Structure 1
Amino acid sequence: MVALAQTPPSAERLRAVDGFLTEAWADQARHDDRLRGLAVDVRFDRGVAHLSGEVADPDELRLVRDRVGRLAGVLAVWCKVRVGGRDPVVVDLGCGPTKQWSGNLGLDIYPAPGVNAVADLSRSLPLADDSVDVFFAVHILEHLIDFLPLVDEAHRVLRPGGVLHVMSPWWGHVNAVADPTHVRLLDVQTFKGICLQRPPGTPRWYPLHAGCDGASIFADLTPVPPDADPPPESHLSRFFA
């Protein structure tokens, strides 16, 4: 068997990459007239871009997301941006005691200090249609024998333009198999299958971003209607084989 060559970057290299990304974004924001004046703060942490601030409409947020995501080295673009004066509704799936941001709504099967509502994530979510702007599924999908029902539920609950942020262990890293509660192995290509290879009539997703740092895989997905055009090949080629 051929050994896998990809290894996670060191903490020192990750800090260097974050420094590069900070400088690259500042330079881009200065020279792109469309970005100048937008009140969005972009912070990089281990290759993940964290967006906060406020924009007037969803198109402005989509522009910032797209421009940040085009920087080499960005693994994911995580957003908590007010749009049109409204705070986003952000839900942490399987959050346990620690949520990604303290103001998020936390759902988990077990009660804990960070859990706002107890819910079995393998069943329907106790949330209304079109009621959430952002879902975090951080280190949760690998614990579910079949995670597609949860992905479908996220599609139902997300508002148009909403985003599902996924982070899971990469199948080629020891972390994927070291935890005996992990029952699924994931790769970036898993999200190609979710977006492009599911049967007709199932919920459809557009991949905003996908990446792997050698230890974890990341995916930012947004729901699209059944009659939407498929993503262009030029976009997919950035992420998928």
Structure 2
Amino acid sequence: MVALAHTPSSAERLRAMDGFLTEAWLDQVRHDERLRPLGVEVRFDRGVAHLTGEVDEPAQLRLVREQVGRLAGVFGVWCRVRVGGRDPVVVDLGCGATKQWPGNLGLDIFPAPGVDAVADLSGSLPLADDSVDVLFAVHILEHLIDFLPLLDECHRVLRPGGVLHVMSPWWGHVNAVADPTHVRLLDVQTVKGICVMRPPGTPRWYPLHAGSDGASIFADLTPLGPEDDGPTATHLARFFD
């Protein structure tokens, strides 16, 4: 059976969906007394929720993430939220001259404006264990023949509860094959494989969110410890076949 390609949403529809999501979130906050007192601002940009602001404790941030991620039409939940008065440590992998947010630490194999440290992403990251709150891997994985070592490094450097944000071209869109430097094709199902199909003893991931807009795939992953429970079949069914 040949899979039918998704039709990417138009820019006009994505802008309209952002308006719908903004209204839906404000309505949810009005009706959820757990959310009303929290100092988190949520902005939607082409289906990606951008969270900023401040909360007192990690559980409050997890609550906001979970509730935003449940809205239909949200492809990813990207966070830069202060927790307990501390700014998050956010690292852009392969940032080039463009960081996802100003103030992020930028790593790339080539020096460029915005690159704070030169690093080969196919090797070890120049970051300490459990030192990072948020990692961005935006349009990176498709450039690596074997991206699993990079994911293992991301697992090592993320603090418990930290998040890896992934964005890559969807395999069925022309963007996936138009760039001759792309050496891997990815699907949302690839994210499922990362989370549940790796051998025992390798770093484990829990999918907070995963989706596709027909042009790109998105995934928000948090590291699991050796004793942590993995995702249930019910949770996986939200995102994967």
- For the criterion TM > 0.5, the same-fold answer is yes
Query: Structure 2: which amino acid aligns with 1:125?
Result: L
Indicate the residue corresponding to 1:191 in structure 2: 191
Alpha-carbon distance, 1:227 to partner: 1.8
Give unmatched runs, 5+ long, in structure 2: none
Query: Structure 2: which amino acid aligns with 1:72?
Result: A
Indicate if the aligned counterparts of 2:5 and 2:172 stay in contact, CA closer than 8 A: no
Alpha-carbon distance, 1:6 to partner: 1.0
Indicate the residue corresponding to 1:209 in structure 2: 209
Q: What percentage of aligned pairs have identical amino acids?
A: 83
Q: Identify which range, 230-239 or 154-163, moves more after superposition.
A: 230-239
Q: 2:134 is paired with a residue of what secondary structure? A: strand
Alpha-carbon distance, 1:156 to partner: 0.2
Matched length: 241
Q: 1:160 is paired with a residue of what secondary structure? A: strand
- Runs of 4+ aligned residues of structure 1 deviating over 4 Å after TM superposition are none
Indicate the residue corresponding to 1:34 in structure 2: 34
**Could you tell me how far apart the structure 2 residues matched to 1:222 and 1:2 are?**
33
Establish whether residue 178 from structure 1 lines up as the match of residue 178 from structure 2.
yes
Task: Write the deviation string for residues 186-218 of structure 1: whole angstroms up to 9, x where unpaired.
Answer: 000001000000000000000000000000000
Alpha-carbon distance, 1:92 to partner: 0.1
Alpha-carbon distance, 1:4 to partner: 2.8
Alpha-carbon distance, 1:141 to partner: 0.4
Alpha-carbon distance, 1:237 to partner: 0.4
Indicate the residue corresponding to 2:147 in structure 1: 147
Query: Structure 2: which amino acid aligns with 1:154?
Result: C
Task: Write the deviation string for residues 81-119 of structure 1: whole angstroms up to 9, x where unpaired.
Answer: 000000000000000001001100000000000100000
**Could you tell me how far apart the structure 2 residues matched to 1:16 and 1:164 are?**
27
**Could you tell me how far apart the structure 2 residues matched to 1:178 and 1:106 are?**
26
**Could you tell me how far apart the structure 1 residues matched to 2:60 and 2:183 are?**
39
Indicate the residue corresponding to 1:63 in structure 2: 63
Indicate the residue corresponding to 2:43 in structure 1: 43
Give unmatched runs, 5+ long, in structure 1: none
Q: Given the two structures, how large is their TM-score scaled by the length of structure 2? A: 0.99
Indicate the residue corresponding to 2:131 in structure 1: 131
Establish whether residue 105 from structure 1 lines up as the match of residue 105 from structure 2.
yes
**Could you tell me how far apart the structure 1 residues matched to 2:147 and 2:229 are?**
25
